Amino acid sequence: MCATCGCDGPGAIVHDVIGPGAAHHGHDHDHDHVHDHVLAPSDDRTVVLQQKVLAKNDAIADRNRAFLAGRGVVMVNLMSSPGAGKTTLLERTARDLAGRPRIGVIEGDQETALDASRISAAGCPVVQINTGAGCHLDAEMVAAALARLDPAAGSVVVVENVGNLVCPALFDLGESRRIVLASVTEGEDKPVKYPHMFARADLVLISKVDLLPYLTFDLDRYEADLARIAPNAARLKVSATSGDGLADWYGWLASLGQTAAATTA
Amino acid sequence: MHELAITEGVVAAVTDRLPDAKVTSVRLEIGALSGVVADSVRFCFDLVTEGTALAGATLEITEPPASCRCRACGAEFAPDWPILLCPCGSADVAVLSGADLRILSVQVA
């Protein structure tokens, strides 16, 4: 069994949104390790490894980053709890930007291609990953999805991670920016409850701000907590329903697109 | 429950490095800032190692606390997680320890 994603069981499946059947993602497991055949037959002995547990994932993430840089593509990792509005924001973004910059989407969910269908209907190239029992995407799944997505030079790839504020924080996918989206309906305590996720964000999107008049959400406390936990993260308030703040979000994305284009030039 | 995937990663890394070894003990370092819960790894370990060269191995986990250095004033301090803020007020800090998640060593029979 693949130790990273658990495939060869009810594991991760990468598939296009349109087309019959879900294809299993290709594995090119490296086995270029050093075989230590010098084990003493009698007493136990200590072998010092000093190895990062996530070394394999991180190596694949670095390969993803090199692949993207070679193509002049920038990838962002979009994370949130389930139902925070990742897909709705991406749908509206795809429709409003209409290809400037070009956006490709990798959708991560445990099951179904529902989100990929929505993104595809909004006019974006999209690949769906179903993680099965998995609670997060890892670099190997994203490598397979990138090969399928085949992103164009100068484009921005948005990885919509599995809705979860805990597990995705740990797994580098090869992205150049991490975005955490948190909706005002979730309450203002999310940054202090899930600090690992917020502390590593480059951009925090506060979503569904059109609902603020109907909630007791304490925006000042939220911003103060964010300033302490993620002092270097940019912050934008957005609503995909009313359009509030979307110009700033598009500006942020466009600057990434320019970065991508500049690396190809 | 990413600790399941983490524990599977430990087994894969050890069996990759020592493919012919019968492993009797594993030492891990799970730093206070690593985002991994040591107790959850302990919970998963017997399940994940079953049927592998690590089956029956004991698991020893060291959990180093976090330490940081302030880039503004140079002070070293133990942060009050989750807020990595220097007592001088600066948030421009480098994590010195406590962020790592490593396999330190194994005992082989």
pLDDT at A135: 85
Residues in chain B with pLDDT < 50? none
More confident residue, A24 or B59: B59
* A 89-128 residues inside an 8 A Cβ radius of B: none
My answer on whether omega of the bond before B87 falls inside 30° of 0, hence cis, is no
Q: Do B25 and A166 touch (CB under 8 A)?
A: no
Q: Do A46 and B36 touch (CB under 8 A)?
A: no
The string of pLDDT tens digits covering residues A110-167 is: 889 899 999 999 999 999 999 887 889 999 999 999 999 999 999 999 999 999 998 8
Geometric angle at alpha carbon B99, from A131 and A194, rounded to 5°: 55
Asked if residue B30 lies in contact with residue B66, where contact means CB atoms within 8 angstroms, the answer is no
- Contacts A7 to B, Cβ<8 Å: none
Distance in angstroms (rounded) separating the CA atoms of residues B4 and B72: 39
pLDDT at B1: 66
Is A51 at the interface with chain B, CB within 8 A? yes
Three-state secondary-structure class, residue B82: coil
Q: Cβ neighbours of residue A134 under 8 Å, at least 6 residues apart?
A: A5, A6, A11, A12, A110, A162, B5
Average pLDDT, chain A: 85
Q: Is A222 exposed, middle or buried (0-12, 13-18, 19+ CB in 10 A)?
A: buried
For residue A211, is pLDDT > 70?
yes
- Contacts A4 to B, Cβ<8 Å: 5, 8-9, 12
Is B19 at the interface with chain A, CB within 8 A? yes
For residue A60, is pLDDT > 50?
yes
Q: Do A4 and B12 touch (CB under 8 A)?
A: yes
The dihedral built from the CA positions of residue A240, A77, B32 and B13, taken in this order, carries a sign that is positive
The shortest CB-CB distance from A33 to any of B16, B25, B28 is to B16
- Contacts B17 to A, Cβ<8 Å: 33-34, 36, 47, 49, 51
pLDDT at A5: 36
Q: Do A37 and B81 touch (CB under 8 A)?
A: no
Q: Do B24 and A44 touch (CB under 8 A)?
A: yes
The shortest CB-CB distance from B108 to any of A39, A134, A196 is to A39
More confident residue, A264 or B30: B30
Q: Do A44 and B109 touch (CB under 8 A)?
A: yes
Q: Do A135 and B84 touch (CB under 8 A)?
A: no
pLDDT at A182: 95
- Other beta carbons within 10 angstroms of residue A259's beta carbon come to 16
Q: Can you list the pairs that A247-253 forms with residues at least 24 positions away whose Cβ atoms lie under 8 Å?
A: A249/A89, A249/A93, A249/A205, A250/A93, A250/A96, A250/A97, A252/A203, A253/A93, A253/A97, A253/A101, A253/A103, A253/A156
- Contacts B92 to A, Cβ<8 Å: 231
* Four-CA torsion A8, A12, A13, A16, nearest 10 degrees: -160
Q: Do A47 and B21 touch (CB under 8 A)?
A: yes
Q: Which residue has the tokens 């993620």?
A: A230
- Can you give the pTM of this predicted structure? 0.82
Asked if residue B48 lies in contact with residue B8, where contact means CB atoms within 8 angstroms, the answer is yes
